[in-house]
C-alpha cells in the first residue's frame, strides 16, 4: 500500500486541458522536471552482500547449461517439481538464518 493512498477513494481521472491552460501546464511541467544531476543527499550505500552480488562474489555461481536444460524441460512439459526437496531446502535456509541471529 502506498503512503497517502486511500483504497476506498477512487483515483481522480485526468482531464483534457483547455487551450488556455495547456501553456500553463507545460510551464508547470518544465519547472518540476527532474534535474539532470543528482543532489548530494540522493547518494546510496550498498551493503557488503549487495556489493559482492554485483561484483560477482563467490556465492554467485551461474551454470548456463543447467539453466538451458531446465528451460528446455519446462518447454517440453517434462519438468518435475519435487516438493520434498523444496521443503527440505526451505527448512535448512530458515535454520541457517535463525543460527546467524
What are the backbone angles phi and psi of residue 75, rounded to the nearest 5°? -60, -40
Question: How does DSSP assign 8-41, residue by residue?
Answer: TSPPPPP-PPPHHHHHHHHHHHHHTPPPSS--GG
To the question of pTM greater than 0.85 for the whole model, the response is no
Provide the CA 54 distance to its chain's centre, in angstroms.
Answer: 15
How much of the chain exceeds pLDDT 70, in percent? Answer: 55
Give me the numbers of helices (H) and strands (E) for the chain, helices first please: 4, 0
CA pair distance 84, 61, nearest whole angstrom: 24
- pLDDT tens readout for residues 46-68: 888 788 777 765 555 778 999 99
Query: How big is the CA angle at 61 (ends 63 and 86), to the nearest 5 degrees?
Result: 80
Cell numbers 477513494 label which residue?
9
Provide long-range contacts, Cβ within 8 A and 24+ apart, for 61-64: none
Label residue 80 by pLDDT band (50, 70, 90).
Answer: very high
Amino acid at each position: 500500500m502506498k503512503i497517502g493512498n486511500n483504497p476506498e477513494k477512487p483515483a481522480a481521472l485526468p482531464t483534457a486541458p483547455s487551450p488556455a491552460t495547456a501553456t500553463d501546464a507545460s510551464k508547470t511541467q518544465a519547472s518540476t522536471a527532474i534535474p539532470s544531476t543528482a543532489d548530494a543527499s540522493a547518494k546510496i550505500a550498498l551493503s557488503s552482500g549487495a556489493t559482492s552480488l554485483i561484483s560477482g562474489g563467490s556465492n554467485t555461481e551461474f551454470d548456463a547449461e543447467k539453466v538451458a536444460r531446465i528451460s528446455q524441460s519446462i518447454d517440453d512439459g517434462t519438468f518435475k517439481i519435487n516438493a520434498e526437496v523444496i521443503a527440505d531446502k526451505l527448512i535448512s535456509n530458515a535454520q541457517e538464518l535463525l543460527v546467524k541471529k
